[in-house]
Amino acid sequence: MSLDAVLNRIDADLPESLERLMAFLRIPSISTDPAYKADCDKAADWLVADLTALGFDAAKRPTKGHPMVVAKSGGANGLLFYGHYDVQPVDPLELWKTPPFEPELQDTPNGQVIRARGASDDKGQLMTFVEACRAWNAVHGSLPAGLTLFFEGEEESGSPSLIPFMEENAAELKSEIALICDTSMVAPGVPSIASQLRGMLKDEFTIIGPKIDLHSGHYGGPGLNPLKEISRLIASFHDDEGRVAVEGFYEGVHEISDELRRQWEASGFDENAYLENAGYTQSSGEAGYSTLEQQWARPTLEVNGLWGGYMGAGTKTVIPSEAHCKITCRLVGDMDPAALRQKIRKHVEERLSPDAKVVWDQDLDGSPASVMDITRPEFEKARGALTDEWQREAVFCGMGGSIPIAGFFKEILGMESMLIGFANEDDAIHSPNEKYDVQSFHKGIRSWARVLAALQG
């Protein structure tokens, strides 16, 4: 019955919860622009004041960049909840239909939304958990025991202070499991727990041919053209079925289980809408795998940039001296980024033509995929809680992108993470006119209350 009382309190207090979110959204906490440093401090202070009033032992913790906010409810560390209070820049400002830091409720054909920068990424999501704690405290007279809240102020600018802070404060932050809200639902109304995140490998290379740019009338034909050479090499990366043709590329890749495939197939994901949203008419990836499998559970090798020669107006009849290529790989399973980098470089070097030389960038990074242990009981308890709230089976999903914090929690703190968020794909995060559905905010608060009850039981 106490859970029902908490849920009823959430419903009754929704107008006040929205007002608190609006106040938070009015703070232009853009972390990447030094002009907003004071506003990032203000956002951290706002959180500390709100959490302290709620009953947490909360403090703003300095770093070399923007401060962290750490709050505790007392008791042995059980759950750590992570979010970030910084937001993306608003450019181009002229495309905003309303001022980005003057939040307002708007009616749309799909329901009421909160329109403002940071509404979805990540202030609205962060506040769903805080408001769940508020209702819990109002009903029980105390906060859930063993909670640590950890809010960052540099997520949108590369998190330069995050790893040093986590390493210096590992004993204080380490908990049984981490909860991360900076994510979305697989489809509208379909609650989701991300159970695997693809990793990332970056590389860049230059093909060098002649000593200088050459006149194509003098050397066209007998002279090796670096642009032709690099095009041939890039074409060798994939076979006709869309598979990566680099030897050993798929080492460490695992097939998904039949149960996970069933959940994905029943998730409500609209493949046609997904493709049409980008202007595609069909999927062009690895044959034999669904769009969701390709996006969440299969590795990729993509060409992200290709240039060389004359690129000005008109023409210039040269054979260029150099051609350049940027590539990235999304990694899954147990793929080793360092080993994969060597395999890709070997693939290129073994196929070089005489008179061609390759030079590799030496300063690019890589990170492995994160695969969560969903056999832990917390995952199924949380999935059950989300299913109860949304009256629709919650799914363990994958994520095509990378969320480094999940990997850091595992590497630095030895913690598994559950990624649970209530954003939708049309929230326009990082873009003009960002929004967060009021339903996502309201049911997100209720969802976290249910998850807390399930994990505290």
- The total of other beta-carbon atoms located within 10 Å of residue 270's CB is 13
Residue 287 pLDDT level (bands cut at 50, 70, 90): very high
pLDDT tens string 192-208: 999 899 999 999 999 99
Classify strands 79-84 and 395-399 as parallel, antiparallel or unpaired: unpaired
**Residue range 199-253+299-367, CATH number:** 3.30.70.360
What is the mean predicted confidence (pLDDT) over 255-277?
Answer: 91
Would you say 118 and 25 are in contact if contact means Cβ atoms under 8 Å apart?
Answer: yes
For domain 2-183+403-456, the CATH superfamily is Zn peptidases (3.40.630.10)
Summarised one tens digit per residue, pLDDT across range 377-413 is 999 999 999 999 999 999 999 988 777 899 899 999 9
Q: Are strands 214-215 and 147-152 parallel, antiparallel or unpaired?
A: unpaired
* Residue range 415-431, pLDDT digits in tens: 999 999 999 989 999 99
> Could you give the 3-state DSSP secondary structure of residue 295?
helix
Instruction: CATH 3.40.630.10 in the chain: give the residue spans.
Output: 2-183+403-456
DSSP letters, 179-228, are EE---B-SBTTB-EEEEEE-EEEEEEEEEE-SSS-EEHHHHTTTS--HHH
pLDDT the model gives residue 1: 64
Find the mean pLDDT for residues 43-51: 98
Is the per-residue pLDDT at 273 higher than 90? Answer: no
- Residue pLDDT, tens place only, 311-366: 999 999 999 999 999 999 999 999 999 999 999 999 999 999 999 999 999 878 88
Tell me how far the alpha carbon of residue 205 is from its chain's centroid: 27
CATH 3.30.70.360 residue ranges of the chain are 199-253+299-367
**Which region holds residue 333: left if phi is over 0, alpha if psi is between -120 and 50, else beta?**
left
Q: H/E element holding 261? A: helix 258-265
Query: Averaged over 297-306, what is the pLDDT?
Result: 97
- Residues facing residue 366 across a β-bridge: 201
CA distances (Å), 26 to each of 38, 227, 257, 434, in order?
Answer: 14, 50, 45, 14
pLDDT tens figures, 221-239: 999 999 999 999 999 999 9
Question: The whole model's pTM is what?
Answer: 0.86
Strand partners, 429: none
d(C-alpha 159, C-alpha 153), whole Å: 8
| Mean pLDDT score of the chain | 95
